[in-house]
Structure 1
Amino acid sequence: MAYQAFDVTVSNHIAHLQLKRPEQFNSMIPAFWSEILTIFDALAADPAVRVAVLSSTGKHFTAGMDLAVFANLAPAVEEEGRKREELRRKILNLQECFSIIERMRFPVLAAIQGGCIGGGVDLVSACDMRFATRDAFFHIAEINIGMTADVGTLQRLPKIVPEGVVREMAFTGRRLGAERAHQVGLVNQLFDSHEAMLDGVMAIAAEIAGHSPLAIAGTKEMLNYSRDHSVADGLNYIATWNSAMLLTVDLPEAIAARSQKRQPAFDNLSPPAAKLI
């Protein structure tokens, strides 16, 4: 399927989503928001996908939300209460475009070059890992246009980096450079070039894809759950989870492969259950 904002390929259990509007600095046009939901819905339904890489083209990863999206947020009704309710639903719909990334059964890795601005920070904050070129920078730009960021940055970023760093970025509108982003843990690894970054991230994606997809899905589920719950809640959840998931053929296969010095062979997960309505 052809998309306006993305190129999408799937190979060797790795889905690669690439923003493809470099001349416009990959700004998040209206099509971006509908397409990202469609793409991740399709990837979720594809049992062969075990990891996804999100990258971009050109000088900047993304310039953030396109002005046309702001225009589309204008409510169609006049009555004040209904106008506000409609606007709230539109904001929630935008949030869903990134929340869907967290709900994927597989990890999503972001490869970032140049500017990651505004909505770009919301996007990569929802990913499992972030990698960047040395010229990259992160910019919570909303404060500079008189608004509060509302699509996930202020909710997710404090769970990734020290809260003081987020507050400095959000209150001042200053850029966070790649070196500092690496120091505070926003970025896993820095690369000298875009090409080297893509090679490195694809190698990590391949390593993830070689593990049991059932164990990877469980690991992501536990990490996300533990981020938002107490240690006791997390321990209770993993005990329940593994009481159901531990008796799998993947465990003896992984052990046998290690002893035989070969690559393990794991079955794909089943497709998600069909929607009843």
Structure 2
Amino acid sequence: MELETLSLSVEAGIAHVRLTRGEALNTMTPQFWEDMITVFGRIEEDGSIRAVILSSTGRHFTAGLDLKSASSLGDGRGDVARQRAHFLKHVKRLQHAFTVIDECRVPVIAAIQGACIGGGVDLVTACDMRVACEDSYFTIQEINVGIVADVGTLQRVPHLLPQGIVRELTYTGRKFPAEEAQRYGFVNRVAPDHEAAIEAAFELARQIAAKSPVAIMGCKAVLNRGRGQTVEAGLDYVAVWNAAFLQGDDMREAIGSQMEKRPASFADIS
């Protein structure tokens, strides 16, 4: 299936996914959601990939949901109950389009320029890390159009920001500039421009790609599983994980490369 709203390239173990509708502010059309599911499906199938960069084209990262298509979202036939059931199925599909990022086997790093609005915040909160340009900002836009954000922001951002800031941004819909976002730890790096932000994201990705892919996969799985769990439940999970995966070749290679003062070489995930 050809991608219409995204592009995918892979080099040296790093996948680069780009939103390609810069002339239309990278608004999220119905095809966008399907493309996102498709592209992360391809990434999951490629065992050579060690990290993902998610970037955009044009002046802004994304203006969020495409308003031209929004009026038909969730349309269905039949009585009110069946219409609502149709809408529920539709929203679940949209949520899945970003859950595939959150659940991706490898870390995903977003490189953000300009505005990141509405669905864009849902998108980047599903990523592991965020690098932003100095001129970029984030807006939980849904409150400004009279709806509740429903594709992941309100579930994921509380793990990334203090509750008071989460609620302020959610209730007011104000701009959250890159400098402030970095101060609160929402953004990992702030770069002077778009090109520098992408390069900073690639530098992070290269560091990750040099590590054991099995260990990176385990770290992400354990961190994700720990959200909302007790410390005891998290300890149980990581104990079982390491009981299953620790006896592979990667630990021997990592230790051996350090002792021999050489770069490590790890096999791909099959």
TM-score with structure 1 setting the length: 0.95
Hey, what's the Cα distance between the residues in 2 that align with 1:133 and 1:102?
Answer: 22
> What is the match of residue 58 of structure 1?
58
Conserved? CA contact 1:14–1:49, under 8 Å: yes
The change in CA–CA distance for 1:267 and 1:162 in structure 2 (over 3 A counts) is: same
Residue 214 of structure 1 pairs with residue 188 of structure 2: no
Tell me how far 1:58 sits from its aligned partner: 1.3
Name structure 2 gaps, 5 residues minimum: none
Identity, % of aligned pairs?
45
The change in CA–CA distance for 1:87 and 1:246 in structure 2 (over 3 A counts) is: same
Tell me how far 1:239 sits from its aligned partner: 0.8
> What is the match of residue 235 of structure 2?
235
Conserved? CA contact 1:30–1:68, under 8 Å: no
> What is the match of residue 274 of structure 1?
none
TM-score with structure 2 setting the length: 0.98
Amino acid at match of 2:250: D
Conserved? CA contact 1:18–1:54, under 8 Å: yes
> What is the match of residue 146 of structure 1?
146
Amino acid at match of 2:234: G
How big is each residue's C-alpha offset from its partner over 1:81-130, in whole Å with a ceiling of 9 and x where there is no partner?
11111111111110000011111110000000100000000000000001
> What is the match of residue 190 of structure 1?
190
Q: CA RMSD in A?
A: 1.0
Mapping 1:39-50, distance limit 5 Å: 39-50=39-50
Tell me how far 1:70 sits from its aligned partner: 1.6
* Aligned length in residues: 270
Conserved? CA contact 2:76–2:82, under 8 Å: no
> What is the match of residue 200 of structure 1?
200
> What is the match of residue 122 of structure 1?
122
Conserved? CA contact 2:74–2:90, under 8 Å: no
Tell me how far 1:69 sits from its aligned partner: 3.6
Mapping 1:81-120, distance limit 5 Å: 81-120=81-120
Amino acid at match of 1:180: E
Hey, what's the Cα distance between the residues in 2 that align with 1:214 and 1:90?
Answer: 34
Amino acid at match of 1:79: D
Name structure 1 gaps, 5 residues minimum: 271-277
SS of 1:72's partner is: coil
Query: Would you identify which runs of 4 or more consecutive aligned residues in structure 1 move more than 2 Å?
Result: none
Conserved? CA contact 2:131–2:200, under 8 Å: no
How big is each residue's C-alpha offset from its partner over 1:129-174, in whole Å with a ceiling of 9 and x where there is no partner?
0110010100001111111111000110011111111111110110
